[in-house]
């Protein structure tokens, strides 16, 4: 199966600790890398991951709190020193361009590549990226400032061809891709072999939803229904439910309730408050509601 991996580079919340980095993830879809959020230090954590910098062309920023975007300048500046030439696309609230442009002009004068800003309207659900392998859709969230999550959907893949049928009908090489893509095969003596007989169905397209930062927001369950993996913020536990409401974050139990309602396959929780020395309590609270839950952690890679 082709790659669809999530690499957690940072899963702490606003106050950095020695245990967790500021928010950032890499989504690897068929060897194309997409970054979600870029907190301070992300470039170093990306280097530690040993993922290849030059496969990263798109960065999606959920919202403009510092712990989700303070790493951008360092990352861009380093890409410049490494003599990157490919455009770097940043999808974010339009305010980010206004804030970053003067910094880029001052610190990254003569950058050998273009930084292309793509404004997002976080209040709107729309497809903001689309290629042959995947699409990315915004998930409107509710936090202390305009915020959206991101829904990555893999494009359907071609059917698998049956090796035994290739041999049986002596199917020539040039026909293989056409059959994978749905054509029937006509033999030399004019016999039509229907596609269903020649192929297994493709793997169902996979999907990943990133929802951070946000209050408990049941309306998102419709949009993320049935995703293979949901990352949902769980800044607090039940002991801080009031604080979660006040700061417009979620508790682990609320993240689990979203996962349950949306019938997702797996849940990974993160964006942990610095006050938890050990996030096991968050895991237990979530698992009591949605058993297929795991804790995010730095250097964790989840294959979908």
Could you say whether residue 275 binds a second copy (CB under 8 A)?
no
Q: Give the one residue of 73, 217, 220, 302 binding a second copy; rule: CB under 8 A.
A: 73
Could you say whether residue 18 binds a second copy (CB under 8 A)?
yes
CA distance 2 to 88: 24
Nearer to a second copy, 110 or 201 (CB): 110
> Is 198 buried (19+), middle (13-18) or exposed (0-12) by CB count in 10 A?
buried
CA distance 302 to 304: 6
- Smallest distance, a second copy to C-beta of residue 276, A: 16
Which residues is 123 bridged to in the sheet? none
Q: Give the one residue of 3, 48, 155, 280 binding a second copy; rule: CB under 8 A.
A: 48
CA distance 29 to 150: 14
Could you say whether residue 111 binds a second copy (CB under 8 A)?
no
Phi, psi at 273, each rounded to 5°: -65, 145
Give the count of beta carbons closer than 10 Å to the beta carbon of residue 171.
19
Segment contacting a second copy by CB under 8 A, of 58-66, 188-196, 218-226, 248-256 = 58-66
Q: Taking CB under 8 A as the rule, which mask of x and - marks residues 75-94 in contact with a second copy?
A: --xx--xx------------
Asked if 171 contacts 269 with a C-beta cutoff of 8 angstroms, the reply is no
68 annotated to a ligand binding site:
yes
Nearer to a second copy, 47 or 219 (CB): 47
Give the β-pairing of 127-130 and 185-186: unpaired
Q: Give the one residue of 5, 30, 32, 44 binding a second copy; rule: CB under 8 A.
A: 44
Nearer to a second copy, 51 or 256 (CB): 51
Which residues is 67 bridged to in the sheet? none
DSSP designation for 228: S
CA distance 21 to 271: 9
Query: Hunting for tokens 């610095």 — which residue is that?
Result: 274
Could you say whether residue 114 binds a second copy (CB under 8 A)?
no
Could you say whether residue 106 binds a second copy (CB under 8 A)?
yes
Phi, psi at 49, each rounded to 5°: -70, -15
CA distance 237 to 246: 14
65 annotated to a ligand binding site:
yes
Q: Give the one residue of 41, 122, 237, 270 binding a second copy; rule: CB under 8 A.
A: 41
Catalytic residue among 37, 67, 130, 184: 67
Q: Give the one residue of 2, 3, 15, 130 binding a second copy; rule: CB under 8 A.
A: 15
CA distance 266 to 100: 36
- Closest by CA to 142, choosing from 62, 36, 261, is 62
- Smallest distance, a second copy to C-beta of residue 213, A: 14
Nearer to a second copy, 66 or 226 (CB): 66
Segment contacting a second copy by CB under 8 A, of 84-92, 105-113, 179-187, 282-290 = 105-113
Known active-site residue 67: yes
Residues that bind a second copy (CB under 8 A): 14-18, 21-22, 40-41, 43-44, 47-48, 64-66, 70-71, 73-74, 77-78, 81-82, 95, 99, 102-103, 106-108
Write out the catalytic residue numbers.
Answer: 67
Q: Which residues line the annotated binding site for Zn(2+)?
A: 63, 65, 67-68, 143, 213, 271
């Amino acid at each position: 199966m082709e790659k669809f991996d999530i690499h957690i580079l940072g899963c702490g919340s606003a106050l950095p600790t020695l245990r967790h980095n500021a928010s950032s993830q890499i989504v690897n879809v068929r060897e194309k890398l997409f970054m979600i959020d870029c907190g301070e230090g992300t470039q170093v954590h990306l280097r530690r991951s040993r993922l290849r910098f030059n496969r990263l062309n798109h960065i999606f920023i959920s919202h403009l709190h510092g712990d989700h975007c303070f790493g951008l300048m360092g990352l861009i500046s380093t890409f410049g020193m490494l003599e990157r030439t490919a455009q770097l696309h940043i999808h974010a609230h339009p305010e980010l361009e206004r804030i970053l442009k003067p910094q880029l002009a001052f610190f990254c004068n003569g950058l050998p590549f273009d930084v292309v800003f793509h404004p997002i309207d976080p209040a709107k659900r729309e497809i903001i990226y689309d290629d042959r392998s995947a699409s990315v859709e915004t998930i409107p969230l509710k936090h202390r400032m305009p915020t959206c999550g991101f829904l990555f959907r893999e494009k359907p893949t071609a059917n698998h061809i049956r090796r035994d049928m290739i041999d049986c009908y002596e199917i020539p090489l040039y026909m293989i891709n056409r059959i994978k893509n749905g054509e029937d095969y006509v033999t030399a003596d004019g016999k039509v072999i229907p596609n269903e007989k020649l192929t297994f169905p493709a793997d169902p397209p996979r999907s990943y939803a990133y929802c951070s930062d946000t209050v408990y927001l049941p309306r998102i369950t419709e949009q993320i229904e049935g995703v293979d993996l949901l990352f949902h913020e769980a800044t607090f536990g039940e002991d801080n439910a009031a604080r979660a409401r006040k700061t417009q974050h979620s508790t682990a139990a609320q993240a689990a309730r979203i996962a349950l309602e949306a019938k997702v396959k797996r849940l990974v929780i993160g964006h942990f408050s610095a006050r938890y020395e050990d996030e096991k309590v968050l895991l237990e609270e979530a698992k009591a509601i949605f058993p297929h839950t795991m804790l995010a952690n730095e250097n964790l890679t989840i294959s979908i």
